[in-house]
Structure 1
């Protein structure tokens, strides 16, 4: 069984706006094992555009500017970044040791994934997942609906 479900292998590429993108990229390397693919920086060091890879997921990174606000400027984030990885438990321990805030420790979820939720020091919320049970979208929906019915 693959650790990353096929339907998520090729996904929308987020472009993270960050106050201190260079520092964030260093944090992502330490905490999440991110690899830098490329960087275009202004003479003052502010990043206009950069790309990083976390396992098979590519993300774009840059310093907030113009129409693009950082989570700090916006007073929070409206997006959770979901990334499938081979070993969510190891990533969780490494990320917390590097300074990520744990919002949810490793947990087996009804949708067949072992999941953690972390907040990075720059205000972005990350959800890292490892598939532990292969389920169809219909099975996930049924389990979710059953779970919600049990909460009434």
Structure 2
């Protein structure tokens, strides 16, 4: 039996701002853009991983959710307490410089971690934590 990751989901509060970051800053390709019942899902992915997708979705993708739950999700998103994604890169320092130059919110400058990677971290426009790592010595 083989199991592989196909999709992961990241909550965003503004799909156009998210696209400006994921497509224009990170260089991910847009694979799908779907609207349904007042909501929107945009699928992006790395050109080097055609079988793995990141779906940018509303904080709560349910048209029947209560206003209180919708507000709670928006507050968690604003605090950066929802999802995050870790990316593998071939040059953490160059990746950091490019993303920082685009004005992204820096959480951690590149540093060597005791568990064998050099990594850095940013927040996307919605507040999600994104980490970028390469194996130490690479």
TM-score, normalized by the shorter chain, greater than 0.5: yes
Supply the RMSD in Å over aligned alpha carbons: 2.8
Contact 1:71 1:122 in 2 (8 A): no
Deviation string, structure 1 residues 62-83 (Cα, Å, up to 9, x no partner): 2334358696432421433211
Checking the alignment, whether the CA contact within 8 Å between 1:116 and 1:129 is kept in structure 2 is yes
Superposed CA offset, 1:40-96 (max 9, x none): 13597x52x221113535211123343586964324214332111222222211111
| 1:52 aligned onto 2:44 | yes
Q: 1:70-149 counterparts in 2 under 5 A?
A: 72-74=74-76, 75-76=78-79, 77-132=81-136
User: For 2:122 and 2:20, how far apart are their aligned partners in 1?
Assistant: 17
The alignment covers a number of residue pairs equal to: 123
Unaligned runs of 5+ residues in structure 1 are 1-9, 135-152
- Would the aligned equivalents of 1:71 and 1:124 in 2 still touch at CA under 8 Å? no
Separation in 1, partners of 2:101, 2:29: 18
User: More helix by proportion, 1 or 2?
Assistant: 1
Query: Within 2, Cα distance between the matches of 1:11 and 1:104?
Result: 27
SS in 2 for 1:14: strand
* Contact 2:11/2:83, CA 8 A, preserved across alignment: no
